Chain A
Amino acid sequence: MPILKIPSPLRSYTDGQVDVRVDGQNVGEALDSLVEKFPPLRPHLFNGDGKLRPFVNLFVDSQNVKDLDGLATPLADDTRVLLVPSIAGG
């Protein structure tokens, strides 16, 4: 099962979990699995049309999935996906 690493701004929506094991053969399915487990996360990741919000970046093997196959980027078992939102604190 792929693992999604949740950044601290979103951990209040995953019961504080950092590494969440999800189902899915690709990034899109992994995200669907994530928001199925934690429905309050959905509006933080997807806009009203179901598209990934532009300020959310996902990295697989240190590559932005936008530079790979987007949500269709395949995931092997135990692949770690980094979720990187924009934060503005200083």
Chain B
Amino acid sequence: MVVPLLPGLTRNEILRYSRHLLIPEVGLEGQRRLKGASALVIGVGGLGSPVALYLAAAGIGRIGLVDYDVVDASNLQRQVIHGTGTVGQRKVESARAKLVDLNPEVQVDVYDEAYTSQNAMRITEGYDVILDGTDNFPTRYLANDVAVFLGKPNVYASIYRFDGQVSVFDAGRGPCYRCLFPEPPPPGLVPSCAEGGVLGVLPGTIGTIQATEALKVLLGIGEPLIGRLLLYDALDMSVEFVKLKKNPKCRVCGPQADITELIDYEEFCGVPGHDHDTGSAGAGLDITAGELAGRLIGNGLVLLDVREPHELEISRIPNAINIPLGSLAARLAELDSARDIVVFCKSGTRSTRALELLAGAGFKKVKNLRGGINAWARAVDTSLPLY
């Protein structure tokens, strides 16, 4: 990376960064390099929290934060940049306050908006490196394509339950995200953390590796994870590395690339650019919690709970039968297609997939409980906890 004029360090900064200055690989010049550098953090959630905290602490001169969301109580189990006192605040503002407190020497620019094809080039072009910590496939493909088009390194990390992946995608020096994953999974096939959960400390582990890689890239030291994918398994406590090669057929960075400008990524992936449950199966296929409460007074209705058995310990609707989504296809014989069936899960995503499966098997009298048992807990049985 060419930094023509490196900014100097003040006396305060020399003291603050003393432990960096003692490392020969960083030293005064490296620290000045970091001060002159900029990093864009896309998503200020589980990964973005440690990433932004450590980049700010390390003295990256300018940090950009992109997030459209507000802090929710269910974020705090892992999103350590936010706090109980900032629940309900814009995430970028909650994060900015923490970063400014941690290191007032750093400039923090916030983008309180979704990262989209319309704004991504404008937001990204002024940064040296981007860190992809988003929570959905459309934004990951978008971040990749922006990085390829602008010739910037994309420090990538993703997490699910106990697993983490990290790599540095830099199409000028190695493969890009699309070389590894040419196409996204079909909608619904890979659950999000909102559906499947994530160990709270996992983004801490993976996000700090991601921040490490960004610092190495900006300092020009060590061996960044270009052409390598780090695979972390917290249950095994194993770390493995696999080799990644450029895909000669890559549609965005290959010699015959046919994607030469940003596309509609939600259409490409078939899912929205966020991991919030919409909770709806679509027009005519939903029943609200209030409507269901009325219907339960009569009978003949089958309530089908497609959550995992351990979720029933959190909340349940009486007399519902439990067939987890993963085993539904094999257990269709337990259901009577002549009866009215209402399917539910936590918040409506898995039940929507169950509806598709049942429709494909010839079930015609099936509805989705919009918003899942959480909607039921809000509107009907308020003694149930939300999760």
Contact = CB atoms under 8 A, between A and B. Distances in A.
Query: Is the A/B pair a real complex?
Result: yes
Contact of B229 (A54, A84, A88): A84
A84 B135 contact: no
Interface string B224-239: 0000010101011000
Interface in A1-60: 7-9, 12-13, 18, 39-40, 43-44, 53-55, 57, 59
Interface string B169-211: 0000000000011111110011111001010000100000000
Contact of B242 (A8, A62, A85): A62
B48 to A, nearest CB: 7
B235 A90 contact: no
Nearest to A12: B326
A43 B158 CA distance: 23
Contact of B190 (A18, A63, A88): A88
B31 to A, nearest CB: 29
A84 B236 contact: no
B347 interface: no
B277 interface: no
Given A8-B161, A9-B161, A89 B242 contact: no
A63 B243 contact: yes
B137 interface: yes
B192 A88 contact: yes
Contacts of B160: 8-9, 87-89
B46 interface: yes
Interface of B: 43, 45-48, 132-137, 140, 157-163, 165, 180-186, 189-193, 196, 198, 203, 229, 231, 233, 235-236, 240-245, 247, 275, 308, 324, 326-327, 329-330
Given A9-B161, A39-B330, A88-B137, A82 B203 contact: no
Given A9-B191, A63-B243, A88-B190, A55 B162 contact: no
Contacts of A85: 185, 190
B43 A90 contact: yes
Contacts of B192: 88-89
A90 B324 CA distance: 25
Contacts of B182: 54-55
Contacts of B229: 84
Contacts of A63: 242-243
Category for how many chain A residues contact B: 20 to 34
A82 B327 contact: no
A77 interface: no
Contacts, number: 111
A53 B162 CA distance: 23
A8 B308 CA distance: 15
B181 A54 contact: yes
Contact of B181 (A9, A12, A55, A62): A55
Contact of B231 (A12, A53, A84): A84
Contacts of B136: 88
B74 to A, nearest CB: 14
Contacts of A57: 180-181
B158 A87 contact: yes
A87 B184 contact: no
Most buried by B among A13, A54, A55: A55
Contacts of A59: 242
A8 B197 CA distance: 11
Given A18-B236, A40-B326, A82 B190 contact: no
Nearest to B189: A44
A73 interface: no
Given A7-B163, A53-B185, A64 B243 contact: yes
Contacts of B245: 64, 67
A90 B158 contact: yes
Contacts of A84: 165, 229, 231, 242
Nearest to A89: B193
A18 B235 CA distance: 10
A48 B305 CA distance: 27
Task: Name the residue among A63, A64, A87 with the largest chain B CB count within 10 angstroms.
Answer: A87
A84 B242 CA distance: 10
Nearest to B193: A89
B314 to A, nearest CB: 17
A89 B158 CA distance: 5
